[in-house]
Amino acid sequence: MIPNQWYVVLESKQVQMKPVGVTRMGEKLVFWRDAGGKVSCLRDRCVHRGAALSEGQVLHGQLQCPFHGFEYDASGQVTLIPANGRNAPAPERFKVHAYLTHEAHGWIWIWWGEQPPVDLEPPLFFDDIDAAFYYATIYDPWSTHYSRVIENQLDVVHLPFVHHNTIGRGNRALVDGPGVEWVNENQFNVYVFNRVDDGTPPRRPDEVPVPDPTRDYRLEFIFPNLWQNRISEKVRVLGVFVPVDDEHTLLYLRFYQKFMKAPVLGSWIARVAMPFNRLVAHQDRRIVQTQVPKPSSLQMGERLIQGDRPIVEYRRRRQELKQAAGI
């Protein structure tokens, strides 16, 4: 994983009134909401005797350990040790690590790494997904490193083989391009034209037309773990690749639509689309889970082709971010 990044780790609706314990980034974490609904995140281990804080409860906006009643605020500081009396101050060293959180668009992010900088900007999101969309979400576990799942969604070569009876029908195996357009240092778009092999060579990336940004199909990726398949102005598939640990990923898939504007029908259409999206994801998962090594890297002995350009761009920037974080 790349340190010092905003990672989407949960969907907002997964954190309600009770503490929620999950494994993310190889760590056990606990999330809860205070009386105002703000989400907080701590390492899920009491500083006192190591019990899971996620088995506790929320009292007055603070998290209470289920073992001996220690109470924690959002900074991870113990504010009450019941055995010492309610008026006794808790030592400053009684503190667990807290992660900064951000909530928007129905997602929860954490800043995973060292102390966030004072000028930290909120995480990026796709600025053309607005409240007019209706959506539905599925959660899908994959037994592989999150980088492999991301690369699969940037892979424009595999469709006629892995998805021959779904989104890859038509035997369009020849790949023109693909083009890669960097929006900023942590976001890029991919555009590609797949066609039936007619004996002519594939066009180079600089020979394929740049799509109309308001109309045409493209793939979009935001570091470290957000992806959008921009099918049309009114239809999107969004993927979030949540690292569980070095060998497991939780794929969150959302289908967005706004061609049907009636609230009940709009939500129903989004839900109805999800079984097909799960089927397509499972076609990928069957193959991607066989790839070795589990995590990808910029230099790993593979023999890549022109059609792999989006994957190379992803790996190159990922390597830069890791080096900037000192790993």
The amino acid that residue 265 corresponds to is L
Band (215; pLDDT cuts 50, 70, 90): low
Specify burial of residue 291 (Cβ count, 10 A radius: 0-12, 13-18, 19+). middle
The letter for the amino acid at 264 is: V
Length of the chain: 327
Tokens of 124: 């990026």
Q: What is the pLDDT of residue 314?
A: 97
Measured CA to CA, the distance from residue 1 to residue 112 in angstroms comes to: 9
Q: What domains lie within the chain, and their CATH numbers?
A: 5-112 (2.102.10.10), 134-324 (3.90.380.10)
pLDDT in tens, 232-287: 999 999 999 999 999 999 999 999 999 999 989 999 999 999 999 999 999 999 99
For residue 190, how far is the Cα from the chain centroid? Answer: 18
Per-residue model confidence as pLDDT tens digits over 175-205: 999 999 999 999 999 988 899 999 999 999 9
Other Cβ atoms within 10 Å of 131 Cβ, number: 7
Q: What is the pTM of this model?
A: 0.94
pLDDT tens profile 68-98: 999 999 999 999 999 999 999 999 999 999 9
